[in-house]
Amino acid sequence: MILSKTVKTMLGIGTILLPAMAFAADDVEINHLGTNNTLVRVHGDGNYLILPVQEAYEDDARINVLVDGKIEETIYVRLARTKTDYTVPFDITPYKGKNLVLDIVTGQGRNSVRDAKDDVCWDEMVIVDEFDTTNTETKYRPAYHHTPLYGWMNDPNGMFYKDGVWHLYYQKNPYGSKWQNMTWGHSTSTDLITWEQQPDAIKPDGLGAIFSGSSVIDHNNTAGFGEDAIVALFTSAGTSQMQSLAHSNDNGQTFEVYPGNPIITLDTEARDPNMFWNEKTGEWNLVLAHALEKENLFFTSPDLIHWTLSGTFGKGLGAQEGVWECPDLFELVVPETGEKKWVLICNINPGGPFGGSAIQYFIGDFDGKTFTSDTKPDGTVPTKWLDYGKDNYALVSWSDAPDNRRTTVGWMSNWQYAADVPTMQFRSANTLPREMELFTSPDGEIYVASVPSPELLKLRDKVVDKASNKTISGNSLNYKLPADGIAEIELSFEATGNDVVSFTLANAQDEKVVMKYDAKNRTMSFDRRQSGIVDFSQKFPAVTVAPTFEDSGKITLRLFLDRSSIELFGNNGEFVMTNLVFPHEPYSKLSIESKNGDAKLSDLKVYSLSV
Ligand code: FRU
């Protein structure tokens, strides 16, 4: 039997006289009801009920949160059975003065019915005023990339820019570091580098979890929620997937879900609505991933609420191995001709060039109703990839970005191993912000370049090493890196003929990342097979390869290192590789060598960064 604080008071005995184990904690009353069902009554005055988590169990406990007897929400938590890996906070402040009861079913599968009272979680369920979010994973938590304070994150969602603030929402599990309880988390930034965590924006409701989507500023009040209201569209993921709407009248801080949700229903799985205002047609456009059909659906609307199907694109085209998810559609100028082209982003999973998740895109036209892709002279539609690393997925753009910028961010992971990477307090970071631009390759194809956002230049602190006009062949060039594993390296080199120039980042434990430019094949490769901890997934050790789209053999590289990530931008973003790494200690030097020929290093600067 567990005594509650109320019982203690009634008995008139002091806490110290009672055996400690008789109390789960002051103010938390725990009643085990037979085998796998437990009622937790919360009487306390604090702010959070602490929930202990053990990651190993896939069979999350189902917790019905009852407020004055009514189900307020249902959450799923891997409650600790034999040991606590970490804890997560459940906010009890909204329920002050009410009867708060957590009705918990611990094992839900038929094979997992067991005696829940032996689990360790009950002793550690306490009420606290503050939840400690101090970063305990200083080795791998990036310093200048966005990460959740704690818990799981996947896709970026609903990003918009307003009044100098970049709003970033994201797929978040508030109750653990694996995928679950999809909620729109929210962070804001004024410089795209430092992020401030905001309260969760949209929480699961009766229609299901809150999957990915987009937001717009309704400048003309077409929806009737008020001038400049923020309108968000997302997928309600319950038994089926439907599209729902929410709006905000306080610049995206809090959202009210639309009482008439869902606003779009189909008889097949479709998700991740991405909408924008079309100046030419004077109406809203929406692109929706028809996930299993591996195509995109297009809709139009006068008011963001009523949508009409206007076209489809993609069936049988491009990479078709995995589901199509998280589309985006925007117009850019081809700098060489001044012509405008539309870019359709189609994230796919699996089926990326190096396995698992990846971003393919199409270049073409959009007439306000449907997208048509440019074709090659032989009539085929080329498959293009935005990133030639393994760790950039679900990339989408900010709406209303200033100065006509098409600023984007991706989720810096891969569904193959995102839940297994060696971090626990938090899981996953976003990529660096990147500007989308078009370029024409020497063979006349139009591609998208991903250029590091200009704000990143402000990070540069000291030049810790540098070089100019060096012959690479026959020399072993070595440069030092900042001790904290946080750096930008900018370099330019020239290599022709059969030259293969290697760039190796290594630490004292001989853990390394080897990047090679192959002049003959005009490719850049990235080998992380010996980069550090790689054995948490068989899919992690990998060599990724990018075409460099370049005839001259002149290459410039910008490499961003941030503890557990490396982002390589070649020739102003014409080729990009984003790859995670988990070295036991930071890479301390960069070595440059060349196999054949007469490669030259024109310039090199290693910057420490001020973070
Ligand atoms: C892509 C995705 C989306 C979905 C979300 C769920 O990574 O599968 O299609 O909305 O994640 O978290």
How large is the average pLDDT for residues 98-118?
84
Mean pLDDT of the chain: 93
Q: Is 564 in the pocket of ligand 1 (CB under 6 A)?
A: no
Q: Which atom of ligand 1 is nearest to the CA of 182?
A: 12
Atom of ligand 1 at shortest range from CA of 213 = 10
577 alpha carbon – ligand 1 mean position (Å): 22
**Closest protein CA for atom 8 of ligand 1:** 325
Is residue 110 scored above 80 in pLDDT?
no
Among 108-117, 418-427, 538-547, the minimum mean pLDDT is found in 108-117
Active site residues: 155
State the Cα–Cα distance between residues 196 and 218, nearest whole angstrom. Answer: 24
- Picking from 184, 212, 171, 175, the residue whose alpha carbon sits closest to that of residue 74 is 175
Per-residue pLDDT tens over the stretch 175-218: 999 999 999 999 999 999 999 999 999 999 999 999 999 999 99
Give, as one character, the DSSP assignment of residue 56. Answer: T
- Angstrom distance (rounded) from CA 436 to CA 13: 68
pLDDT digits (tens, 9 = 90+) for 1-14: 233 332 222 232 22
Convert the pLDDT of each residue in 20-67 to its tens digit.
333 345 699 999 997 889 999 999 789 999 999 999 988 899 999 999
The answer to whether residue 459 scores a pLDDT higher than 90 is yes
What six digits make up the tokens of 519?
């002049």
User: Which residue has tokens 């080199």?
Assistant: 493
Q: Is 399 in the pocket of ligand 1 (CB under 6 A)?
A: no
CA–CA separation, 366 and 372 (whole Å): 6
Ligand 1 center–CA 370 separation, angstroms: 23
Task: Answer whether 178 contacts ligand 1 (Cβ < 6 A).
Answer: no
Cα distances from 55 to residues 48, 62, 425, 469, in angstroms, run 21, 15, 11, 52
Helix (H) or strand (E) run with residue 6 in it: helix 5-11
Tokens of 482: 């900042």
pLDDT tens by residue, 266-299: 999 999 999 999 999 999 999 999 999 999 999 9
Q: Cα separation of 24 and 14, whole Å?
A: 15
Say whether pLDDT at 346 is over 90. yes
Helix (H), strand (E), coil (C) string for 526-545: EECCCCCCCCCCCCCCCEEE
Give yes or no for residue 158 CB within 6 A of ligand 1. Answer: no
pLDDT at 23: 38
Q: Which of 578, 498, 509, 506 is nearest to 542 (CA)?
A: 578
Q: Report the pLDDT value the prediction gives residue 19, as an integer from 0 to 100.
A: 31
Instruction: Find the length of the chain.
Output: 611
The pLDDT score that the predictor gives to residue 26 is 63
Q: Is the CB of 418 under 6 A from ligand 1?
A: no
End-to-end CA distance of the chain: 52
User: What's the whole-model pTM score?
Assistant: 0.94
Ligand 1 and 348: CB distance under 6 A: no
Q: Is 429 in the pocket of ligand 1 (CB under 6 A)?
A: no
Indicate whether 553 pLDDT > 80.
yes
Task: Give the span between the Cα atoms of 518 and 505, in whole angstroms.
Answer: 18
Q: Give CA separation, 282 vs 101, 277, 368, in Å.
A: 50, 7, 9
Which of 171, 395, 414, 417 has most ligand 1 atoms within 8 Å of its beta carbon, as the pocket-test mutant? 171
Tell me the best of 152, 153, 155, 347 to mutate to test the pocket of ligand 1, counting ligand atoms within 8 Å of each CB and taking the most: 155
**Would you list the DSSP string of 478-539?**
EEE--TTSEEEEEEEEE--TT-EEEEEEE-TT--EEEEEEETTTTEEEEE-TTSS--TT-TT
